[in-house]
Every structure is written in C-alpha cells, then in structure tokens.
Chain A
Amino acid sequence: MARKNTDSKKYWLDNKKNVDKIWYSLVGICVISVLADFFYHKHVTHPIEDLIVGMYAWYSFIVCVFLVLSAKLLRKILMRSENYYNETNDD
C-alpha cells in the first residue's frame, strides 16, 4: 500500500471549495432534519418536545457550544506544560 510522491497529488478535500460544499450540505441536512418534525407523528417522551419544534436539534446545538466554550475556559485553570509531572525524560 506504500505510495510515493503523494505530496504532489491533489485530493478532493484539498480544494477549499469542496470543504465549503460539505459545510453547506451539512447545513441543508440540519434544516431538513428539523422540517421532518412536521411530517410524522412524534412519540414524545417528555411534554417539552411538543412545545418546541426540533427540540433535540436546539438542545444539541446549545449544549455543544456550551461544552466547547467552557472547556476552553477550563484550559485556563487546568492546562500545564506537557512536562508538568516531570516524567517525560524518555520521549
């Protein structure tokens, strides 16, 4: 499976435009997944699901943004140098 001189080879994802294509199709899928809520009878587990269309979608988006931003803040408290415990003499 070894390949040589692959550096010169252009891959589909190397083109920034194609990455944008993926991004916009993801946005499209997101819209479709929320619109889908209108087209079937939902078996709700919690009454809140009836109140908000696409409850799972909003919930997911909000908690994920919260997760990443708070993890970033945590870095300020928790991050130390790679050699913090002073054991990495051998690599």
Chain B
Amino acid sequence: MIELPPGIILILGAFLVPFLRGNVRNAYMLALPLIGIWSLMTVTEGAHFAIGIFGYALSPVRIDSLSLLFGYIFHIAAIISIIYAFHIKDAVQQMAGLIYAGSAIGGAFAGDLISLFVYWEGTAIASVFLIWSSKTENSYRAGMRYLIIQVGSGVLLLAGAIIHFKQTGSIAFDKLGLTGLGPTLIFIAFGIKAAFPLLHNWLTDSYPEATITGTVFLSAFTTKLAIYALARGFPGTEMLIWIGALMTAFPIFYAVIENDLRKVLAYSINVQLGFMVVGVGIGTELALNGTAAHAFAHILYKGLLFMCMGAVLFRTNTIKGSELGGLYKTMPLTTVFCIIGALSSAAFPLFSGFISKSLIISASAHEGHWIVWATLLFASAAVLYHSGIKIPYFAFFAHDSGKRPEEAPKNMLIAMGTAAFLCVAIGVFPGWLYEILPYNVDYVPYTTTHVVTQIQLLVFSALAFGWLTRTGLFPPHLKSTNLDFDWFYRRLTPKIIKQITIILVMLDGTVRKIFINSLNKLITSMFQHHGPEGLLARTSSVGGSVAVVVALLAILIIIFCTNL
C-alpha cells in the first residue's frame, strides 16, 4: 500500500526547496524522486485513493503495468536531470523542475479524465518557468507561445472530458477510441502535446530557448506523457499509423539544414515520437510493447544527447553548428557520452534504441503496413543525420573551431555517465526492460538477420554522408532561420491582422471623411439660407410688408370682382 499518490511527493516537496541551502538543498531534491521510485516498487496494482466529488467518481491513482513503466522512467529522468542541475542555485528553476516532473508522474497514474486534466495543466504551467528562466526576450516570447498552446491543449482535454461525461456518464480514463465529439477533442488535446504534424511547432520553438538544465527536464516529460495518454486512450486507432509515419519522415529534412543543435534535437524528438505513435496506431501487443519500450529508451538517450549539448553550451556559450567543431580535444568524456547517446538513438546493436525501435518496425511489418514500414526504415537510416552527424560529429569533430573549452562540470558528467550506462545496459540486457513492459514479450531482438540488416542500414547511411562530404555536396551549417509551420502564426497571421487593421483604418477614415464633408455641406447650405446674408434670415421694413399685404388684398379684390 502506498501512503501518497505517485508524483505528489515531488510536487509538495518542491515548496520546501527555497528554505534549504547548498548541498542540503541538492541532497533533499535528489531524495524526493528516490523516495518516489522506492515507493513505486512496493505498490500493488489497482485503483487507490478513490474519491467522489460533486457526484464524479474520481480515481486519481490507477496502477497497472503501463502506468508503472512510465512512472519508473519519469522518476529516473527526474533523478538524472536533478543531478545534472546540481550547480544551479535558482530556486524557481528547481521548484519548476520538481513540480513539472511530479505532475508528469501523477498524469501517468491518473485513472480518470479530470485528474488527468489537473496534472496535464500542471506540466504546462510548471514547465514554462524552465523556458522563462533563460531570461531573454526570445525565451519570454517562445515561452508565451508554448504556454498558450499547452494550456489550450488542456482546455480541449477538459471540454472533451465534459462532453464525454454527458454522453456516457463516465469520466474513467480507459480506451476511448474516436467515437464522438468528446473523444475527438481529447484526441486533439493529446495530439498537440505529442507534437502531431502541424501541431508540432511549440516543441521546436521552445525547447531550444529553455535553460541548459531546463531542456533536459523538458525533453523527458511532456511529449512522453502524451504518448502514454495516446497508448491508454487510443490504441489501435488506424489514423495514428499515418500520423506517426509522417512524424518520422518530415522533421528529418529540417534537422539536416538546422544550425541550432538543440533545435536539431527537438526535431529528432519529433521523429522518435513518430515511431511511438505508429506503435499506438498499430495497437497489437507487440506494437504497444514497442511504444512503451521506445519511450523508456528514448527518454534516456535523448536526455543524454540534450545533456551533452547543454554541456557544450555551458562551456562555449554557443550551440550553433557553424561555430562549433573539434571539441573532443578538451571535452573527451562528454564526447564519449554523446557518441553513446547517438549510437543508442541510431539503434545500433548493443545500444538501447536497437531493442526498442525494432519492436515497432517488426510490428508494422507483421501487420503488412508496407508503406509505413518503408517510411520507418527511411527514418531509421536517416537518424544518423540528426543524431549522429549533426550531433556529435559537427560539435565534437568536423572542422576545428579553435575552441578549447574545459571538460563539463563533475555533476554534469555524473548525470551523463549514468544515462550512458543505462543506454548500454538496456541494449546489452534487454530482458530488464522487456520484463516490465505491459504485455508478455515474445520477441528476440538479437537475431543474425536483424543485426546484419540494421548494420547495413547504418553503415550505408554513414557511407552516403562520407561520400556527400568528400564531394562537397553536403550542405554546410549556415546561420539562418528555417521557416516551419509556426510561420503561419508568427508571421502570416500577424501580417493578415495588420493588413486587416490597415484596411479597417482606411475604411474608417473614408467614412469619417464622407460624413464630415456632408456635414460641412449641410452647414454651408444652412449658412446660405439662414446665415446673416441668407434669404430666409433677411430682415425687411414694416412699410415693405404693408405694401405686400396691400398688393395681396388688391389681387383678392380683383379676383372677387371679376367673379361677380
């Protein structure tokens, strides 16, 4: 039996942070997720803390194998991120990180849609402080856009939950399927957080603007909570297969030409989310196991890559590919950790991505989705271009930038080392991870066929890169902004609004002018007739008036006489 709902200890514990100092504060922050994960290991499956409020049956804690898996990895990510941020003294960031992680953990255990909504918004509001803490104009604006989109996702979730309750009388968060307006709204809400195509820009917009340590937190929780929610609510929804396939392919093109290496990683997250979404869409036991396993492995290696890039940014004050290169000379350990992250991301045999991604690819082949299968293979081959060549090659090798920064601080090295160790451990001993997957695993990743074909895929991808570089065809890093879908709301919409405003102002001006002109005309004509010189305002003498009256009388008399 557990004493507290999972995640709550991090959320409540965060409020004590400002009262502690130095190492005590660090130790305290580390203790919170350690206690959290320890208590998870002793829980029993089922519903806990069921309460009724205003006639709604809330079940804030529902524990089963799927929620436990996400609970574990969220705790591990929190532990690693906290160690990585040991050198930070800013209580705002520390509290935001803890509340954010706690909300994500809570969300993974929410048994009803209302509890999910509360945690959903919790992750949005807490995490924006990790972006704003950069304290730049860019981060402020990106954070605002992030917050509007994230809170908007929560509002859709709540609206969907209310409509769903009206129709079915239930707010339980189980398999929903696209069965009406309510679930559709919920689906879109999840889709925003999972960075579906065209809904993805908040991710690549805000993550590169967050603080060095903030991005490490961000990379772990928001999107993976959305993947969990999709896996819970919409397994086997065919549309997701196509959405996911699109996600695995398109961001890669952007990653190849992007200069900001943290933005490259943000695009890379989007690609990996695509794999997980495909898994949810296929919806078989093998595919859902694949999604869960890939989320677990992905949080570790993507966090590792963000930590390595963070260390580079911390030491060199830049993360632009055009200004980096040759850092392996003075940052050897960071280089090694980064290569481990890249190999895991590229799904090289003996690294974590290999044993998780292959579940999803195999599932797509088993179900005969050949176009999707070919797309996933393309994404697997091209992974080298965002997680291998951009990072680590251009940061640590390539042309020597002449920068000779110090090795990363000790706490960062420990955090990166831990993540790197786990990446290799999962790759070498996949049984550990397979054991905690939601369904029984009947899958052997290390077959000769699989190992050889995967190696072919990766070495020929590297060969293509080598050939393109040696012939000078590979595009160099250029300082630039590449237009993405956010152009529509950052450029086009403001422009349209500006144009509409200009037209409205013109119309307004014309209408006023016409009105004033006609008013002036009226005044002039009034003045003509009624002014001092006007005909109707002219004064005449009494004699004149008498003469007119006499004349009228005379006419009357004449008329009268002639009628007699």
Contact = CB atoms under 8 A, between A and B. Distances in A.
A7 to B, nearest CB: 7
Interface residues of B, number: 63
Nearest to B135: A90
B406 to A, nearest CB: 5
A67 B172 CA distance: 44
A71 B483 contact: no
Given A71-B253, A84-B481, A34 B456 contact: yes
B256 A60 contact: no
A45 B475 CA distance: 35
B468 A81 contact: no
Contact of B137 (A71, A81, A90): A90
B385 A40 contact: no
Nearest to A42: B449
B447 A82 contact: no
B474 interface: yes
Contact of B138 (A46, A57, A87): A87
Contacts of B330: 1, 3, 6
A15 interface: no
Contact of A67 (B141, B362, B385, B455): B385
B136 interface: yes
B378 A80 contact: no
Given A2-B406, A75-B257, A33 B461 contact: no
B461 A60 contact: yes
Contacts of B377: 56, 59-60, 63
A69 B257 contact: no
Contact of A79 (B257, B404, B459): B257
A80 B138 contact: no
A29 B349 CA distance: 15
Nearest to B491: A85
Contact of A81 (B257, B385, B406, B480): B480
Contact of A7 (B397, B404, B460, B484): B404
Nearest to B370: A46
Contacts of B470: 23
Interface in B452-497: 452-468, 470, 473-475, 478-484, 490-491
Given A13-B397, A79-B478, A45 B452 contact: no
Given A57-B460, A61-B463, A63-B382, 4 more contacts: A33-B455, A70-B253, A78-B484, A79-B481
Interface of A: 1-3, 6-7, 9, 11, 13-14, 23, 26-27, 29-30, 33-34, 36-37, 40, 42-46, 54, 56-61, 63-65, 67-72, 74-75, 77-85, 87-91
27 contacts: A7-B404, A23-B466, A26-B463, A27-B463, A30-B463, A33-B456, A34-B456, A40-B448, A40-B452, A43-B449, A44-B449, A45-B365, A45-B373, A57-B456, A59-B374, A59-B378, A60-B461, A61-B461, A63-B377, A68-B464, A71-B254, A74-B257, A75-B257, A78-B257, A79-B480, A80-B482, A90-B138
